Amino acid sequence: MKTWLITGCSSGFGQRLALAAAQRGDRVIATARNVKMIEEMAEPFGGRMITLPLDVTDAAAAKAAVAKAVETFGGFDVLVNNAGYALFGAIEEGTPEEYRPMFEVNVFGLIETTRAALPVLRRSGGTIVNMSSGAGIEGRGGGGYYHAAKFAVEGISEALAGELKPFGIRVLIVEPGPFRTDFLGRSITMAANEMPEYAASSRRHYRETNNGNQAGDPDKAIAVILQAVDA
């Protein structure tokens, strides 16, 4: 039986992974910025799943979540950095008020949560799962800010893999393509400064026409993640 600490459990892969882990008998610390959105999720599992508030950009909150996990379950052996969202729009369209918060969540939030968790994981070993994206492999027009954030996740993950190997900690990078989650709905912000000059590379039409119609089955992705963690 594994114990999971998962960020960003209010929707998408985070929610599905938390449920799948609990359903197979594992213990889960499910977190979300708005904990009220996930409280009911834990009810069917009794004490095997707890829900905690966690804004990953708040280092103190990350440390508090880790401390509560240790208090409740004695620790954890899987950390899943899933919290994140996308900003779509051309580089010229974006503003600091839009792209800086996205980097705070997707990159610096991942760092803060990982740093808070490492004292626990170094004692016991375990696995860190960093949710990247196909966007972390290749950059394309209309998504430059999101691509940059996910490229950063890739680099951080590869560095961590080398640093943590002596402690028996694995670092897995998950790079999903298009899956039928609500990512194109609630997890995307469009740059407000829409410029007609960039209409050809805009992701707006893609978002409107593909939300819910993506080819990927999210349940199959979750099964693969579980297998990778168990390997």
CA separation for the pair 158, 64 (Å, rounded): 26
Active-site residue, selected from the candidate residues 10, 133, 150, 202: 150
150 is known as an active-site residue: yes
Selecting among 10, 132, 133, 202, the annotated active-site residue is 132
Catalytic residue at 133?
no
Phi then psi dihedrals of residue 25, to 5 deg: 105, 0
Active-site residue flag, 146: yes
Classify strands 78-81 and 3-6 as parallel, antiparallel or unpaired.
parallel
User: Which among 39, 4, 40, 44 has a CA at the least distance from the CA of 21?
Assistant: 4
Measured over the CA atoms of residue 62, residue 11, residue 147 and residue 215, the dihedral's sign is positive
Q: Do the bridges between strand 169-174 and strand 126-131 make them parallel or antiparallel, or are there none, so unpaired?
A: parallel
- Which of 99, 146, 157, 202 is the catalytic position? 146
How are the residues of the chain apportioned to helix, strand and coil, as percentages rounded to the nearest 5? 55, 15, 30
Rg, C-alpha atoms of the chain: 17
Catalytic residue annotation:
132, 146, 150
